Structure 1
Amino acid sequence: MAAQIHIRLVTKQIKYAVPDTPFAVPCTVSCSELNSIVNGLIKDNNEERQHGEIDFDFLVYGEVLRVPLNEHLEEHSISSEVIVEVEYFERVPAPEPYDCLLHDDWVSAVQVRNGWILSGCYDNTLHLWTTKGRHQLTIPGHTGPIKAVAWVSFDDTMATFVSASHDQTAMLWEWNVSSNAVECIHVCRGHERGLECVGISPCKSRMATGGWDTRLKIWSADIHEESNMSGETLPKRMKTEHGKSQVRTPLITLKGHKEAISSVEWTDGSEICTASWDHTLRLWDTEIGGIKSEIVGNKSFFDASWSPLSRMLITASADRHIRLYDPRSKEGSLVKSTFTSHTVWVQCVKWSTTDEHLFISGSHDHQVKLWDSRSPKAPLFDLRGHEGKVLCCDWSNPELIVSGDSDNTLRIFHSNR
């Protein structure tokens, strides 16, 4: 008779709850066998349930089960003599390909807000699309490739957004939704080399930019604000070649990185996290104007994404690995997990805004992958279709995963969440 292990099945999804009485299963029980057991117990527990089988994943000692149970326990040095608690939850459904939006050059920046997609291109143009795939506007103005975009505010009639470019400027735009007219209100000047990233503060009143001059700069993101952080009235702005647009200067400039800043994210109203080609992640305090802490990696960082749900950080690097950091950790390594499935550089990462465990990544290997942070051994799904290097990705809208590529396309997947 095969050796057995005693397990207790538990779930946080009440509608799928079964009795948590321990029982014995073969020590080599697999995910598919556990799935059959749980479905059988659900059916026995609720005779009226008419639905077909449900696909579940199983969490054992903090990690999603991907191998037979005995192998999983051996990997984590856990005795098979104890009662093993197995948490089950409904499996994330596979994202479905929805649309492919063609651009005239590399698609290097994207963010979704409400029913709209904002994309930036290497031909110096911005584009507005509906999430249904209809092209709304082409927006010229920059004189270099656009590397980052971000929505600032949005209502039914007016929206504001920012774009950051290799032309050394960030531009604040106002879009009249009803008349479909866009105007550059402010040109933010102060960087001495090309920009790579932009981030908007939680209160939407400030933004931060970084780029190849290694400087982190803080700006007002309020298109109507004409005062600096001390409340002093600023001189009347000079109009530029962009019609009504006015030159805006930075409120604060922070120095510390040695090479290009590739990512900037606000973690709260006064703290910013930056990632850099100099192999470091830095946390900055904008109130005191200095560095709070530094995390040193062993490769250049190309992107980072911070989750307000888990308060964890994921990074994309100049190798094929994605790393999960806990910046608050006071003991052990700050790297809590390493995710390896891409075959070359990982260019971009982005957390889900609704699930603290899910994130996406894009790589030069043409792949976008959907991950569960509790399953470092393998991604949940590979999102295929790109033919070049994936340069940017976004999951701001929980229902849509979008990614831009050097094949000149922006691909949309329904995430079914």
Structure 2
Amino acid sequence: MTSSIATDPITSVQCIFVTKNLLYSSLIPTNPILIPTKLRRFGLSEIINHVLNLEKKIPFDFIINDNVLTTSLQTYLKKYEISNENVLTLEFVESLTEPKLEKAMKSNDWIKCIKANNEFIATGSFDHRTRIYNHSGDLLHNIEFESVVQSLCWLKDESGIASSVILNGNQSGIVECWKVKPDEMEKELVFFCQDAQGAIECLDVNFDGTLFASASFDSSIHIYSTDKDDNTLDSTLDQSKRRKTGKIVKKKIASGTLKGHHASVSSLNFSKDQHSNTLFSVGWDHTVREWDVNEESNKNTMNCENVILNISQSPKTGLLATGHTDNLVRLWDPRVKEGLVVKLKLKSHSGWSSCVSWVNAYNLVSGGYDGFLKVWDIRSTSPIYSIKTFDNDSDPKKIFGLDILDQRLYSGGEEGLLRTYFCTF
């Protein structure tokens, strides 16, 4: 019998369906099923729904040899020159729907960073302002600073609710903590920090909300208590703060300093493990560093060949995702102490991969200087969706920041728009 190579039309191919989802794995037959090669994701999804006998139809995606199927089976077989006598193994996973733009709120300048919580969406901008919106898109607060707002971070208030206290790190090397109210225009400067010798590049708060970290262009990382009364001094000599608020403002002193980076620290991420005060940092020295905050020690240093711009840790798996100036997104396993810790390189951006954020154990979103948001399933090396955030008739607008909260994706950058997308994450 002559083998039919995929350069010729193929009408059917034998497929075995597999899944890691325990709800479905025992319901799928282990024997091959003859499938028409004209089928694409939708048709294959119909088959799985029928086999599983689901009352409410669920859309599925399909992964073959680490590639998400985005074409018909026939096109896939032709592309990879696979014979129809082979048995294809298709892993199916519940689909993420493509993020849909809900609204775009205009800012007066480029947006550098975004941070959302259950009450607010905050943006830091190149016009030296932090703007705070409610989820209906109404601008509630407009806080002015001495320079570009580089990073934002929400803290818990006295009641333990992470909704009304925000940290702002700016290019002047100052971190300011403000308390805002959702239904009033009133806002209060609680304290400020000024230990860095360079611009504040990034901020993050630990799992239980007792500590926050700031990192700077001068390569230092400073650790602070979130308690507004811990390690503070009355800043009676700081006339600019006094003029700004009309009262004496407390200056908070760092409780610890982490030194090890040899260039600017570009991003921080506290461990998602509630029993750990591990902090991850990345920078322009091409390193990912793991810190024991309690001991103020650099526990582990992981290297790569390019500048690292951003980091995010998966709360489900502990894997790290980083964005780079070589346009790649890299995945790291910090538990590996020997051999290769870079587990995967994701290539699709045509500009710097400036921001990354995990969605769940398998999915993450990245934003780039090419003006695209990429939605990834790490069981594949190709993005599931590529979302253009600029008009067809304009040049690409760099994305500087993104955040994800529940079923909302927020992005902003050179375009000067805070974009809100609805997603089924």
TM-score range, shorter chain: 0.7 to 0.9
- Kindly state the Cα deviation for residue 360 of structure 1 after the two structures are TM-superposed: 1.3
TM-score after normalising by structure 1: 0.85
2:252 corresponds to: 248
* 1:79–1:280 distance in 2 versus 1, CA, 3 Å: farther
- Partner of 1:36, secondary structure, is helix
- Kindly state the Cα deviation for residue 8 of structure 1 after the two structures are TM-superposed: 4.0
* 1:153–1:320 distance in 2 versus 1, CA, 3 Å: same
Q: Answer whether contact 1:10 1:85 (CA < 8 A) is retained.
A: no
Amino acid at match of 2:34: V
- Partner of 2:350, secondary structure, is coil
Q: Answer whether contact 1:13 1:89 (CA < 8 A) is retained.
A: no
Question: How far apart, in 2, do the equivalents of 1:69 and 1:226 lie?
Answer: 62
* 1:373–1:37 distance in 2 versus 1, CA, 3 Å: closer
1:119 corresponds to: 123
Consecutive unaligned residues in structure 1, runs of 5 or more? 228-233
Of the structure 1 ranges 79-88 and 383-392, higher mean CA displacement relative to structure 2 is found in 79-88
* 1:80–1:198 distance in 2 versus 1, CA, 3 Å: farther
1:150 aligns with 2:153: yes
Structure-to-structure mapping, 1:73-152, within 5 angstroms = 86-140=90-144, 142-152=145-155
* 1:190–1:330 distance in 2 versus 1, CA, 3 Å: closer
Q: Answer whether contact 2:151 2:170 (CA < 8 A) is retained.
A: yes
Identity %: 22
Of the structure 1 ranges 289-298 and 60-69, higher mean CA displacement relative to structure 2 is found in 60-69
Question: How far apart, in 2, do the equivalents of 1:244 and 1:107 lie?
Answer: 31
1:367 aligns with 2:362: no
Deviations 1:267-302 (A, max 9, x none): 144211001011111111111111001111111111
1:320 corresponds to: 327
Q: Answer whether contact 1:347 1:390 (CA < 8 A) is retained.
A: yes
1:230 corresponds to: none
Q: Answer whether contact 1:266 1:273 (CA < 8 A) is retained.
A: yes
Deviations 1:381-412 (A, max 9, x none): 324337521111111x1211111111221111
Deviations 1:116-138 (A, max 9, x none): 10111111111110122111111
Question: How far apart, in 2, do the equivalents of 1:138 and 1:375 lie?
Answer: 42
- Partner of 2:43, secondary structure, is helix
Deviations 1:297-318 (A, max 9, x none): 1111111111121201111111
Question: How far apart, in 2, do the equivalents of 1:388 and 1:41 lie?
Answer: 40
1:310 aligns with 2:317: yes
Deviations 1:5-34 (A, max 9, x none): 4524446274798542412436x957x457
TM-score after normalising by structure 2: 0.84
Q: Answer whether contact 1:16 1:42 (CA < 8 A) is retained.
A: no
1:57 corresponds to: 61
1:12 corresponds to: 21
Question: How far apart, in 2, do the equivalents of 1:62 and 1:157 lie?
Answer: 39
Question: How far apart, in 2, do the equivalents of 1:2 and 1:302 lie?
Answer: 48
- Partner of 1:163, secondary structure, is strand
- Kindly state the Cα deviation for residue 357 of structure 1 after the two structures are TM-superposed: 1.4
2:353 aligned residue (346, 369, 390): 346
Question: How far apart, in 1, do the equivalents of 2:337 and 2:74 lie?
Answer: 32
1:222 aligns with 2:227: yes
Q: Answer whether contact 1:366 1:389 (CA < 8 A) is retained.
A: yes
Question: How far apart, in 1, do the equivalents of 2:221 and 2:37 lie?
Answer: 52
1:376 aligns with 2:406: no
